[in-house]
Chain A
Amino acid sequence: MSEDKINNRENVTKSPKTLLNVSNISISFFQYSKGLKKIVLHVVKELYLDVGEGEIVAVLGSSGSGKSLLAHAILGILPGNSLLEGEMKYNGKILDQKLKEELRGDEIALIPQSVDFLDPLMKIGDQIIGDVTDDKKEGKKREMTKIFKNYNLREDIADLYPFQLSGGMTRRVLFSTSMIINPKLVVADEPTPGLDEKPIEETLNYLKTMANEGRGIILITHDIQTAVKVADKVVIFYSGYVIEVNRTENFSGNGNKLLHPYTRALYKALPQNGFKLFEGSQPMNMDKEDKCIYYDRCRQSIEKCSHSNPDLVEIDGMKVRCYVVEKSYEI
């Protein structure tokens, strides 16, 4: 399918019904250093995110930015030494650990990024159908046959083991495992890295189809090009903070409609947009917000940036965490 078709998503209404609402989430980890000295690492801070029915929200960030932790927080699978603060709502109901456990594998599905998530010793069919009682098995089997057809998989691969599948088939199997539960919210964690053009398009088309069926999709990726091809909006993570929420169409031309300097740097670093070098690396585990998280790398900072971290503010339906942008919009 051509790129135009991917972008041309008609079913997206302007204000879809909110499915997931993440409000001021923070995630920290406890670690023990020398002796029994306990240290707290703050890895995600003040995270806001809304996903509506039929909407694809791309969460874009480099590794270490905290974007995968968001997925784990939604599914309730953060490790034991972590602390989750803030509020999440699913369909208007508070999404606490109990509700997460009820909904995951039912209304909320995860599409993991790699083959490693399949059990190597279990046949594909059994993994897709999952642990169900005998009376439900037949129904699930029929459902699986239907899903296999949609994903262009032969019926007999149900009897194969993961190692007998090619990379492309495995990816379609991973999508099948999430679709058999008929979820309302799908979290896809890096479904495309290392793929060629064709399989990337195939994968993105699956996501688009899911959204057109009314499902909300969170697409977690570090690949700006992937994000821009299917998403309705793009949320950019940096050092555990959301620094920008922008409309997909603004990732075009010379990138002038992008707001945050880091987002522009990402865009201009693409080989086709100049392969421009930006120095520095993302700070990890910021404990003191006595300056903007991007201050050390920023080329346009003003005095204020050196002693306080900006809030995420709304501008024309977009969001940004930058004093310089605020100033230019006279907020």
Chain B
Amino acid sequence: MFMAELKANNISFKYNGTNEWILKDLSISLKDSQVKGLIGESGGGKSTLCKILAGYEDYFEGEVKIDDLNTNSSKINPVQLIFQHPEKTMNPKWKMKRSLDESWEVSDDILEKFGIKENWLNRWSNELSGGELQKFSIIRALNPKTKFLIADEITTMLDAVTQVQIWKLLLSIAKKRKIGILVVSHDKELVHEVCDEIAHLNDINHV
């Protein structure tokens, strides 16, 4: 059995043209199968860190690497980011099926587990509710090559019932596929409920 670990070492970040560090000498790691919570005040740099971890940000100091003996040179990034607002991450000119197909050929089994009805696949993104759309964006991120999920406030915009559905399902799939999840949220109660371990941004960010 190989263990994979996502490691961010001594990350520092500031916006171009400013002198204020958003993140400074921050290190964090995430093992496969691990569910780690990250809490911290809004404006503290949580989302910036998420983008760095998932490869959306090129200009930062430090390194992000994955220790994985199983590494293959796949085009798919094994670290996938799921955002707070799914409507901003779907191409509005594509039907839902195409948005999923862009990532992987999703099995009927997964669609059923998420309660996605077949006719939803033929809808445009603006014809679905926020909860339904978020389910799509999670499935899209669950490409078989995905090893780590960065979940940035993914149920903040959803009602409590949908929030439980999404987390219970996501946790069970992650466990089966040995996916590590970084749960970023302002909701302490939620983080305590779903995570094995919790990090406070203030403790690891040396600004």
Contacts and interface: CB of A to CB of B under 8 A. Distances in A.
A234 to B, nearest CB: 13
Interface stretch (B5-13, B141-149, B151-159): B151-159
Contact of A193 (B128, B156, B163, B168): B156
A63 B134 CA distance: 11
Interface residues of B, number: 29
Contact of A279 (B128, B130, B132, B165): B165
B156 A278 contact: no
A266 B161 contact: yes
Interface string A146-168: 00000000000000000000111
A266 B192 contact: no
Interface in B164-181: 164-165, 167-168
Interface stretch (A83-91, A267-275, A302-310): A267-275
A63 B164 contact: no
Interface string B174-203: 000000000000110110110000000000
A194 B131 contact: no
B53 to A, nearest CB: 19
What secondary structure prevails in chain A residues at the interface with B?
loop
Contacts of B190: 271
B129 A282 contact: yes
A272 B165 CA distance: 16
Interface residues of A, number: 31
A63 B129 contact: yes
A62 interface: yes
Contact of A62 (B43, B158, B189): B158
Interface of A: 61-64, 166-168, 193-196, 199, 222, 224, 262, 265-267, 269-272, 275-282, 284
12 contacts: A62-B131, A62-B158, A196-B42, A199-B42, A224-B159, A267-B160, A270-B189, A278-B161, A278-B164, A279-B165, A280-B115, A282-B129
Q: Across the A-B interface, give the 6 residue pairs with the lowest CB-CB distance, nearest first.
A: A64-B129, A63-B130, A62-B159, A271-B189, A269-B160, A271-B193
Interface of B: 41-43, 84, 115, 128-132, 153, 156-165, 167-168, 186-187, 189-190, 192-193
